[in-house]
Chains A and B, each alone.
Chain A
Amino acid sequence: MSTVQRNMSLTGEPPKTINGQQKIASAIGLIGLLILALALFNVDFPNKSVWLTASLTAIGGGTIWFSIAAYSNKHEGIKNDGIYFKSLTSKGFWGWILGISLTLFYVLLYWFPQYLGYVQGGDNKGVVALFDPLSKFLNGGPASQWFLYGTLYTLAILAFGIKFILKYRHNKYEKLRTYSVMFFQLGFAFIIPELMQRLNSETFSLPYYDLKNIWPLNHYNFEQYRVDDFISAGNIGIGLLIFGIASIFIITPILTYKYGKRWYCSWVCGCGGLAETAGDPFRHLSDKTQVAWKVERWVIHSVLVFVVLMTTAVVHSYLGDDTSKYWLTKDVFLISVGVFLTLVFTGVWVFKREEIQKDARIGSIAYFVIIITLIALHFTTGKTLFLFDAETLRSTYGFLIGAVFSGVIGVGFYPIFGSRVWCRFGCPMAAILGFQQRLFSRFRITTNGGQCISCGNCSTYCEMGIDVRAYAQKGENIVRSSCVGCGICSAVCPRGVLKLENGPLEKRINPNEILLGNDLDLMNYVNK
């Protein structure tokens, strides 16, 4: 009799525990975290810059060493061995522990920063105080809980980015994409805005602005205090404001038309950046059922409607009525929004009608009618725009979507729901880009004729929960609004069936032009 305990079902055994080097590297990384934890519990470190450097170096260095030890002695290729046997990556004990810890961290961050040691207008304490030296070095002022978060976030993308690059070192697409998100996070999301703070003085003030963070992901970009700051900051401020608007209406549509939404979601975006690097070990946990897809479409588009209403109401609330003071009055703005939405709605309905599924038709008509009715009601009866006061809409959105959805659920639940929950179900930016990608883009994932063996690696490792196999096994190209173009389905395919491509719009979707290996006469009948 063997002494090995066997499970009842086909669950398998872990291939092996981590090797010696990985153990040392883990210990170093955990010591780095321990320093932060001690600071959190108000252990007062004497020389904060030394301890902070030690902590961040240990966390980053430990992660990188761990990755080198994990991958460098192995062949280049797919490294998914044992993912479903490890507790951390298969919703086991350690997965839940990590999920709960991350969630608690987000709760403190959003609602109880005082427990992290943040003191508004006074000397910081706890772990936030530990970050003061770095904050002073970069932006000249003391740290806030957001500075701490930004630093750790950037560190995670950099360290786990290197891990990802080592893991996929045979795949140039994956490497370049990861260098790109690391660059944008470090430069655009972290260093540049921090340095910009230094320019601020009594007479000149720019809001904290991550240039790549586009409305509606950056849902607060057009709030009054920011717009006031932009306008009062002269040419630079106006330039930034125009850039913010152009990003939505000009830059984004052009890039999405040419390359699909991947240019943003998996090459630039910070949320995507974290999901692709630190979230990579959890990508297979996304729900692939058709029910999940239906829920996804309703939820993400509802968030989009919510953010449009909220932003419209907020902007509307601070605009004036007097045309002689400024051309953009409340009414001009509201009518413009109405006209724009009507144009988009009619355009799609006229040109792309056949491509819209039944539930999308119902949803789009319903939402369109509701919005236009509300605007009309406002003009005819003078009721509060969108029934709620702008400030209520703003704060509700900030709480529900900005904090709970994108932070607590989006990242805290990585080890339970997978890495792209926010991007898939919540992000209104992804909804807009996805809408363009589905209807007006050259991007598609091409299926290689009849070579699919229905193995399921593509669907399993799709972080967006797309059932890639359902298309590939029929020889169909994959054109889905949610696809972020991470390229992993193509990477894990054992038979070379999938390729991310930009190509002509003609035959982009090919349900009837399939080559599964039979003679062409038969294929005509099969397609009938």
Chain B
Amino acid sequence: MEHVVIIGNGIAGITAARHIRKLSDKKITILSAETEYFFSRTALMYVYMGHMRCQDIEPYESWFWEKNRLELKKAYVERVDTDNKTLFFKEGGSISYDKLIIASGSVTNTFGWEGLDLNGVQGLVNKQDLETLEKNAPNNKACPHAVIIGGGLIGVELAEMLRTRDIKVTMLVREEGFWANVLPLPEAEMISQHIISHGVNLKHLSNLEKIIGDADGNVKAVITKEGEEIPCSIVGITTGVKPNISFLKNSKIETDRGILVNRKLETNIKDVYAIGDCAQQREPIGLRPAIEAVWYTGRMMGEALAQTICGNHFEYNPGNWFNSAKFFDIEYQTYGWVFSEERRKDYEEQFHWKCRSNLRAVTVSYHKETREFLGINTFGIRMRHEVFDRWLNEKRGVEYVIKNLSQANFDPEFFSRYEKEIANEFSSITQLATS
């Protein structure tokens, strides 16, 4: 019986395992150094916030693994010997495989600042980071003040977490609006205001110079490039993530920033595959980045690779881009492509609508000449994935999308509707442009 070994029990590895089991009787072993059972990484924040317990963020009950004959092993893979198809563990021992799937995920990305090794400097990527945070910032007596470096998805989660324990939070953001390297500026500014309204001291256009510690090696303060010294007990590094591939250093598997794979998710070595955050496409797919560190793409790669492993050769061929997040109380969904100023294509035109409450906004992006609908960002209004996926596939025009926007509404019953307001504003702007 063929033995499939999967390194990593995150969403990519587990999805691959589940689908391989659906399609075949292969022996499947899943290795993880992080936790015994699969959990939802995106839900780590809710454990610290007291919304859920650790066991609540595990999507499957413990009997699930045995019932589906998925063998779980808690071990850290230190060395990969592809010649002999063997993995060696840090704890000692080894395991051999017929097919190897690397789904080892991400680690915190840093920029080599001085003081990164001080106690109290941490990221928020894995379960151990959560445990460290619980130790470093149990309450506002032990940790009166935190500084977060970087305005992205993990940064805002960390800010929300710390605010639930009344810890003062200062956030250093390089851009002039929150996550402005991804969001169009009007939206970035709205989210910045919302974060500030939650008591976060959000500093725009602010960069970290170095972190300084006390005599015991604990964090004392950060110093910004702008020359400000901010005292603090912990420093959250949330300047993105990078593939977790250091254990492959001495292997024959070809890597760049991530593990290089082709469209079939195969590495340069036969029978070795990589999926999820740690994989890097040799040729980026469409407008997607070569490394996609997103829950959904990890899941999609897992589904696609399971087919290939089971003899049904398949390329990873993602459909229309989509993503979602929540910034304190404002939900965000995106379908298709809406780019920030720095990444905007020449042909991309954007229409922005913002609710008077400053809690809802919509940006529709479309082609300047053909007026083809390219994508939508929606804040505070839920919209249907299926409808936008269809409209994008049908290459609908922007007027059609605006006119039929109510079909896409996914807010709960009785919620106030804004489609009319959006349509009126759109037509008044386009009339201005044409007259």
Number of interface residues of A (CB under 8 A): 61
Nearest CB of A to B12, in Å: 13
The interface bits of chain A over 452-466 (1 if a CB of B lies within 8 angstroms of the residue's CB, else 0) are: 011111011000000
Determine if B92 is an interface residue (Cβ-Cβ < 8 Å): no
The contact of B141 among A4, A469, A473, A526, by CB within 8 Å, is: A4
Are A494 and B326 interface neighbours, CB within 8 A? Answer: yes
Inter-subunit contact A451/B324 (CB<8 Å): yes
* Contact (A290, B43) CB under 8 Å given A84-B50, A495-B333, A525-B314: no
Q: Which of A170, A176, A525 contacts B414 (CB 8 A)?
A: A176
Q: How far is the CA of A231 from the CA of B314 in the complex (A)?
A: 74
Q: Does A520 lie within 8 Å of B319, measured CB to CB? A: yes
Whether A10 is near chain B, meaning CB under 8 Å from some CB there, is yes
A149 at the interface (CB under 8 A from B): no
| CB <8 Å contact, B415 and A172 | yes
Chain A residue with Cβ nearest B53: A84
Contact B412 A12 (CB under 8 A): no
Give Cα distance in the complex from A83 to B58, angstroms: 18
Q: A2-B142, A172-B415, A499-B412 are in contact. Are A460 and B52 (CB under 8 A)?
A: yes
With a CB–CB cut-off of 8 A, which chain B residues contact A456? 40, 43, 46, 52, 56-59
The number of A-B residue pairs with CB atoms under 8 Å apart is 184
Complexed CA–CA distance, A11 and B46 (Å): 12
Are B138 and A83 in contact, CB atoms less than 8 angstroms apart? no
- Interface window among A73-81, A313-321, A381-389: A73-81
Of B69-77, B106-114, B236-244, B299-307, which stretch is located at the interface? B299-307
- Report how far A453 CA is from B51 CA in the complex, Å: 16
At the interface, yes or no: B296 with Cβ under 8 Å from chain A? yes
How far is the CB of B5 from the nearest CB of chain A, in Å? 22
Is the CB–CB distance between A453 and B295 below 8 Å? yes
A470 within 8 A of B: yes
Please pick, from B58, B328, B382, the residue contacting A448 in the complex, using a CB distance under 8 A.
B382
Q: Which of A80-104 contact B (CB under 8 A)?
A: 80-86
A450 within 8 Å of B (CB atoms) = yes
Q: Does A15 contact B (CB under 8 A)?
A: yes
A522 & B317 in contact (Cβ 8 Å cutoff): yes
| Chain B residues positioned under 8 Å from A511 (CB to CB) | none
CA distance A95 to B297 in the complex (A): 42
Verify B300–A517 contact, CB threshold 8 A. Answer: yes
Q: Which of B135, B139, B295, B314 contacts A522 (CB 8 A)?
A: B314
Q: Does B389 contact A (CB under 8 A)?
A: yes
The answer to whether the Cβ of B189 comes within 8 Å of any Cβ in the partner chain is no
Q: Is A453's CB under 8 angstroms from B382's CB? A: no
B13 to chain A, nearest CB (A): 14
**Are B410 and A448 touching (Cβ within 8 A)?**
yes
> Distance (Å) between the CB of B350 and the closest chain A CB?
22
Q: Are the CB atoms of A518 and B303 closer together than 8 Å? A: yes
Residues of chain A within 8 A of B355, CB atoms compared: none
Residue numbers in A under 8 Å from B59 (CB-CB)? 454, 456, 469-470, 473
Bound CA span A83–B50, Å: 6
User: B19 at the A/B interface (Cβ < 8 Å)?
Assistant: yes
Residues 337 to 359 of chain B near chain A (Cβ within 8 Å) = none
With A15-B164, A15-B165, A82-B50 as contacts: A6 and B138 at CB distance below 8 Å: yes
Could you tell me the distance between the alpha carbons of A10 and B35 in the complex, rounded to whole angstroms? 14
Cβ of B197 < 8 Å from any Cβ of A?
yes
Q: Which residues of the other chain, A, contact B307 by a CB distance below 8 angstroms?
A: 522, 525-526
Interface class of chain A by DSSP? loop
> Does residue A519 face the partner (Cβ distance < 8 Å to B)?
yes
Does B98 belong to the interface (CB within 8 Å)?
A: no
CB neighbours (8 Å) of A409 from chain B are: none
Please, how many angstroms separate the alpha-carbon atoms of A456 and B300 in the complex? 20
Q: Is A451 a contact of B333 with CB atoms below 8 Å?
A: yes
Q: Which B residues are CB-close (under 8 A) to A449? A: 322, 384-386, 389
Question: What B residues does A4 contact at CB under 8 A?
Answer: 138-139, 141-142
Q: Are A10 and B386 in contact (CB under 8 A)?
A: no
Of the residues B42, B135, B389, contact of A453 by C-beta under 8 Å: B42
Please state if A519 and B326 are interface contacts (CB–CB under 8 Å): no
By the criterion CB–CB under 8 Å, are A453 and B49 in contact? no
Q: Is A324 interfacial (CB 8 A cutoff)?
A: no
Q: Is the CB of A10 within 8 A of B57?
A: no
Asked if A429 lies at the interface with its beta carbon under 8 angstroms from chain B, I say no
Question: Which one of A473, A499, A518 has the highest number of Cβ atoms from chain B below 10 Å of its Cβ?
Answer: A518
Give, as a whole number of angstroms, the nearest-CB distance from B59 to chain A: 5
Residues of B within 8 A of A76 (CB): 329
In the complex, what distance in Å separates the CA atom of A167 from the CA atom of B307? 46
- Residue B331 at the chain A interface, CB threshold 8 Å: yes
With A and B bound together, what is the CA distance between A289 and B198 in angstroms? 36
Residue of A with least CB distance to B131? A10
- Given A83-B51, A453-B42, the answer on whether A496 and B333 have CB atoms closer than 8 Å is yes
B416 interface residue (CB < 8 Å to A): yes
Closest to A521 in B: B317
**Bound complex: CA of A290 vs CA of B328, how far in Å?**
32
Q: A84-B52, A453-B295 are in contact. Are A518 and B331 (CB under 8 A)?
A: no
Residues 478-504 (chain A) with a chain B CB within 8 angstroms = 487, 490-491, 494-496, 499-501
Q: List 8 contacting pairs A-B, 8 Å CB cutoff, sorted by A.
A: A82-B164, A455-B43, A457-B52, A460-B51, A494-B326, A522-B307, A525-B312, A526-B303
Give 20 A-B pairs besides A453-B324, A457-B46, A499-B412 with Cβ atoms closer than 8 angstroms.
Answer: A14-B50, A15-B50, A84-B50, A171-B415, A289-B61, A450-B322, A455-B43, A456-B43, A457-B51, A460-B51, A495-B326, A496-B331, A496-B333, A517-B318, A518-B303, A518-B304, A522-B307, A522-B314, A525-B307, A525-B312
**A residues with CB within 8 A of B:** 2, 4, 6, 10, 12-16, 75-78, 80-86, 170-173, 176, 289-290, 446, 448-451, 453-457, 459-460, 469-470, 473, 487, 490-491, 494-496, 499-501, 515-522, 525-526
Interface residues of B, Cβ cutoff 8 Å to A? 11, 19, 40, 42-43, 46-54, 56-59, 61, 130-131, 134-135, 138-139, 141-142, 164-166, 197-198, 295-297, 299-300, 303-304, 307, 312, 314, 317-319, 322, 324-326, 328-329, 331, 333, 382-386, 389, 410-416
